[in-house]
Amino acid sequence: MNDQPQPKKASLWMAEQIANAGVSHVFFLEAILRDTLNELRRLGVRTVLPHTEKAAAYMADGYARISGKPGLCWAQSVGAANLAAGLQDAWLARTPLIAITGRKPQAEQDRNAYQEIDHAKAFAAVTRHSGNVTRAADLPRLLANAWRTALAGAPRPVHLDVAGLMAEFLEKETLDDSAVPADLLRNIQRPLLAPADYQLQAAAAAVRGGRKVVIVAGSDAVVTGAGPALCALARQIGAPVATTVGARAILPTEDALAIGTVGSYGMFVTNRIVHDADVVLVVGAQLSDQNTHAWRIPATHQALVQIDADPTEVGRVYPQAVPVVGDPRLALEALANLLGDYRSDEAFGRQATLAMAAWRQEVAPLRTADGSPIRVERLCAEITRALPHDGIVVADTGYSAIWTSTHMEFTAGQGYLRAAGSLGWSFPAALGAKCAAPDRKVVCFNGDGAFYYHLAELETALRYDLPITVVVNNNSGFGQDACNMVARGMPMEQVRELAAFRSTDFAAIARSFGANGIRVTQTSQLRGALDEAMNADKVTVVDVATDFLGRAPDPWAPAA
């Protein structure tokens, strides 16, 4: 009887670790890690083959944002640059992804091998780390390091280049895993780092020093599960809560303390309220130009407390910010204890509530408007009505993000994801979100300009039985660009030349794939179409004819 540990194929070891970590789906473009993929299928992990490397990255992104686990996206050597391009949104949104690409063996490097480029350079701008796996013996250490790096602090994508065009050199090797825990990857979780006491004390003092306090919650507050702690603190101190676009659903949007979305893509009323505060408590939000409407909200004269898991983020944009570095949930819970019976000015809170009520009254006629073309405010209101109590909305960038974050309402238990800037991201990301949450209804909201990018994934949705609802705000062009051109006085002939498309019936295209397709040209058709789509057992495209020059709400900014 031989008691010596038996070598294990690298492909089997890798598949077992991924399965043990609770990852349910892997997204890949042929041909890469074929033996590993077959082992994964044997272990019950679904392997999803889309039609482009970017779609694989976007699916992994949507999967990771909903599941909380690293998203895995793989491609062979000649597809590496395409995969790298797909990581930009995950990088900007702080999503933990692990991108794996094959590479030609060392003996073939620098000899004009087929489509050879320097992968590390291609991935440098969109990953926290890009490394090489040359030997199977190094795989446990390097894969665990990639997992750990992706999840650390503010999560980011990482990249591993593995030996072989399709990783075939790595996969055929064996390794001795007798000293490697079977749950090596499963035990690597996002670390919950408690903020330093001195920073919490300073933050509490800054809040107490203000009379009118407002909270701005960002997407990292959502990812870290800080929503309940944030709501509890807001109620304790009586502070209105604004959100960035990505955190739109962190609390019920019609809650008395909810004051809408702030920034360039935000609401007129929200920007005014945040600007009127004397202390702004920022929780898990990057203070980008978009989230702050070109760094004007908050203004430089306002006191600022900034909670973030990334120590390089606090004070990066607003140097006067009181920094609190650590897990947002832990920071909020600690602040609640330190603030005790402190209350923000009640008159300020009442003023914010009344301002939101007045805004809702102002937009109500738009949300109930009839006629053709259909108003997007009405479309958003109908999606709000139809969305199940645990539904997830995945919105594209640009106008899609503005419309959904200003005119859709969300209740507790519903979710919202938005593109960080990559046009076309939403459809593949929604499929990834559905993989992570098979029992929840997922609605993709995009314009026709975005949907054109990844139409082919209708076939993927059918092949893997991913019955999401795709709502196309079909204005036959790049409406956001067109509106901006018109606002600058450009003649319509030139606007149409630069931003208009031919009219396309996306419902008919969906039906040609074998999916459901519903064309909506009248408001009277909206409710029935959305109800049918929500109850469908396969992917359904609801193609809604809207106005080419339908302008999304403009934000407010203080005078220069």
pLDDT band at 300 (very low <50, low <70, confident <90, very high): confident
**Is a pLDDT exceeding 90 seen at residue 455?**
yes
Mean pLDDT of the chain: 95
**Is a pLDDT exceeding 90 seen at residue 110?**
no
Residue 115 neighbours by CB distance under 10 Å: 13
Closest CA to 348 of 231, 233, 205, 238: 238
Tell me, what's the pLDDT at 3?
62
Q: Give the whole-angstrom CA distance, residue 311 versus residue 314.
A: 6
Q: CA dist 243 to 100, 257, 344, 384, Å?
A: 34, 11, 18, 18
Give percent of the chain with pLDDT exceeding 90. 89
pLDDT band at 2 (very low <50, low <70, confident <90, very high): low
Instruction: List domains and CATH numbers for the chain.
Output: 8-175 (3.40.50.970), 197-352 (3.40.50.1220), 368-545 (3.40.50.970)
- Higher-confidence residue of 125 and 104: namely 125
Q: Give the whole-angstrom CA distance, residue 485 versus residue 467.
A: 37
Phi-psi region of 531 (alpha: psi -120 to 50; beta: other; left: phi over 0): alpha
- How confident is the model over 485-492, as a mean pLDDT? 93
- How confident is the model over 106-125, as a mean pLDDT? 85
Tell me, what's the pLDDT at 269?
96
Tell me, what's the pLDDT at 560?
75
pLDDT band at 219 (very low <50, low <70, confident <90, very high): very high
**Is a pLDDT exceeding 60 seen at residue 398?**
yes
**Residue 529 structure tokens:** 């179409």
Tell me, what's the pLDDT at 4?
66
- Higher-confidence residue of 201 and 103: namely 201
**Residue 293 structure tokens:** 């409407």
Contact 174, 136 (CB under 8 A): yes
pLDDT band at 522 (very low <50, low <70, confident <90, very high): very high
Strand duo 174-175 + 8-9: pairing: antiparallel
Q: Give the whole-angstrom CA distance, residue 278 versus residue 257.
A: 17
Provide the b/e sequence for 79-106 (b: ≥16 CB within 10 Å).
bbbbbbbbbbbbbbbbbbbbbbbbbbee
Q: What is the DSSP string of 207-269?
A: HHT-SSEEEEE-HHHHHTT-HHHHHHHHHHHT--EEE-GGGTTSS-TTSTTEEEE-STTS-HH
- The length of the chain, given as a count of residues: 560
Q: Give the whole-angstrom CA distance, residue 315 versus residue 307.
A: 10
- How confident is the model over 467-483, as a mean pLDDT? 95
19 contacts: CB under 8 Å, gap ≥ 6: 40, 43, 44, 45
Sheet holding 241-243, edge to edge: 258-261, 241-243, 213-217, 279-283, 303-308, 322-325
Q: What amino acid is encoded at 284 in this protein?
A: G
**Is a pLDDT exceeding 70 seen at residue 495?**
yes
Write out pLDDT tens, residues 258-284. Answer: 999 999 999 999 999 999 999 999 999
Peptide bond into 31 cis (omega under 30): yes
Q: What is the DSSP letter of 2?
A: -
Write out pLDDT tens, residues 529-543. Answer: 999 999 999 999 999
Sign of CA dihedral 205, 298, 245, 85: negative
Cβ-count burial of 486 within 10 angstroms (0-12 exposed, 13-18 middle, 19+ buried)? middle
Write out pLDDT tens, residues 134-158. Answer: 999 999 999 999 999 999 988 999 9
pLDDT band at 114 (very low <50, low <70, confident <90, very high): confident
Write out pLDDT tens, residues 72-102. Answer: 999 999 999 999 999 999 999 999 999 999 9
pLDDT band at 229 (very low <50, low <70, confident <90, very high): very high
- How confident is the model over 399-407, as a mean pLDDT? 96
Rounded to the nearest 5 percent, the helix, strand and coil shares of the chain are 40, 15, 40
Contact 428, 51 (CB under 8 A): no
Q: Give the whole-angstrom CA distance, residue 419 versus residue 415.
A: 14
pLDDT band at 194 (very low <50, low <70, confident <90, very high): very high
pTM of the model: 0.96
Contact 219, 288 (CB under 8 A): no
3-state secondary structure of 340: coil
- Helical ranges in 110-155 per DSSP H: 119-124, 139-151
Strand duo 71-75 + 303-308: pairing: unpaired
